[in-house]
Structure 1
Amino acid sequence: MAVSARRGAPLSPEEIHAEALRLIDEQGVEALSMRKLAAALNVNPMSLYHHVPNKEALLDGVRTLVLSEIKPADDDGSSWQEQIRGLGAGLRALAHRHPSLYPYLCAHPQLMRQDGVSDVLCRVLAAAGVPEERMAAVRNALFAFTAGFLLAEINGMFPGRDDAAFEEAVTLIVNGLSAYGRDGSGGNAHAEVSPG
């Protein structure tokens, strides 16, 4: 672990990513540089390169940190509809907590891997009856729909946080997914379609 002569304490990847996120939240992704981050951490810029080889790797670590805020639940026995609503609410909260970062992540798909979130989503989609051969397409469509709504919301298309519009958007998703269980493609034949 690199130790800076200026600060005298070891620098950790967690500290680097947390400070990078703080700077992004304050100034935006474009304003972030390794030099600014090093100054904020009170270290020599070269110290950062012991932990992150470049800005893209730094942003990948920030992405991992931010997505960990969603904390997707293990299968707790709740309905897939409730789990979809929980994932949607988690992504929405993330977008509003980090409005400078979220659009950047959406515009850079190589950074928008969702790790554990994606695993939970696939499990929930399977419970909804989405066939394996359509899973990737459905997951991509859900990402595009959700990202579009959240980008519109954080960019001010709606007055403030429009909870009613968000609930309608999630209900559209739930109702659309319910069709997979009803049309014989597998899953729950008695899917709940009303808002939760």
Structure 2
Amino acid sequence: MSARRGTPLTIEEICSTAVRLIDESGVEGLSMRKLAAELDVNPMSLYHHVESKEALLGLVCATAAERMHMPPDDGSPWQEQLKALGLAYHRHALEHPALWGYLHTHPQLISDHRLAIWQTLYRILRLAGVPESELPRTSEILNAFVAGVIVAETQGRLSDDPEEIDRTFDLAVHLIINGMVSFSA
């Protein structure tokens, strides 16, 4: 417990504050000192919870991904579930562009297929008829396709108009679903 703060520091509080700072100043603007100042703790207090800034960023990326709204396994068609997952991923990327950009330039942070997003995608791909042996490759290809669309959007290559961005992403999801239909047929 910090003498200045009066309450124990939690991983959730550290990660939430780090995400907010990254949203405001980018990953390069985050430092352990700035984070500690925001949390009103001594910078060394952070090291009781994370061993380094790199470890903090890994934890932040994992917890940010876990906060995404995943479509439930509610019996709806796989196409609807895949669209819902794609839209949640898209919305998350647009809400946290600096974090998303960092995540996708550090593939080791997103390669853990035990994360909820991957498990949800695997469940949906199984519903679509993708063989178990093809789940890793299919999911990585879909991720690369969606990431490419989002990179093009965030760099302004597709459009700066928010409505056009939504229509473009809807088209991308439509292309994915149609491709999956022909794959599973």
Q: TM-score range by the shorter chain?
A: over 0.9
Larger CA Rg, structure 1 vs 2: 1
- What is the CA RMSD across the aligned residues, in angstroms? 1.3
8 Å contact from structure 2 (residues 27, 99) kept in 1: yes
For residue 97 of structure 2, give the secondary structure of its aligned residue in structure 1.
coil
> How far did residue 155 of structure 1 move?
2.1
Q: 2:29 aligns with which of 11, 28, 31?
A: 31
Q: 2:39 aligns with which of 20, 32, 41?
A: 41
Q: Which residue matches 2:172?
A: 169
8 Å contact from structure 1 (residues 29, 100) kept in 2: yes
Identity %: 49
Equivalent-residue separation in structure 2 for 1:104 and 1:4 (angstroms): 31
Trace 1:147-158 onto structure 2 (pairs within 5 A).
Answer: 147-157=147-157, 158=159
8 Å contact from structure 2 (residues 62, 109) kept in 1: no
Look up the equivalent residue of 2:120 and give its one-letter code.
V
> Which 4+ runs in 1 deviate beyond 3 A?
none
Q: Deviations over 1:124-153 (max 9, x none)?
A: 111111112222111110010011111211
Q: 1:54 aligns with which of 52, 55, 60?
A: 52
Q: Which residue matches 1:122?
A: 122
Q: Which residue matches 1:6?
A: 4
Trace 1:127-146 onto structure 2 (pairs within 5 A).
Answer: 127-146=127-146
For residue 100 of structure 1, give the secondary structure of its aligned residue in structure 2.
helix
| Structure 1: runs of 5+ lacking an equivalent | 183-196
Q: Which residue matches 1:192?
A: none
- Normalized per residue, which structure has more helix? 2
Q: Which residue matches 1:79?
A: 77
Larger CA deviation: 113-122 vs 88-97 = 113-122
Equivalent-residue separation in structure 2 for 1:160 and 1:75 (angstroms): 33
| Structure 2: runs of 5+ lacking an equivalent | none
Look up the equivalent residue of 1:140 and give its one-letter code.
E
For residue 93 of structure 1, give the secondary structure of its aligned residue in structure 2.
helix
Equivalent-residue separation in structure 2 for 1:48 and 1:54 (angstroms): 9
Q: 2:107 aligns with which of 103, 106, 109?
A: 109
For residue 30 of structure 2, give the secondary structure of its aligned residue in structure 1.
coil
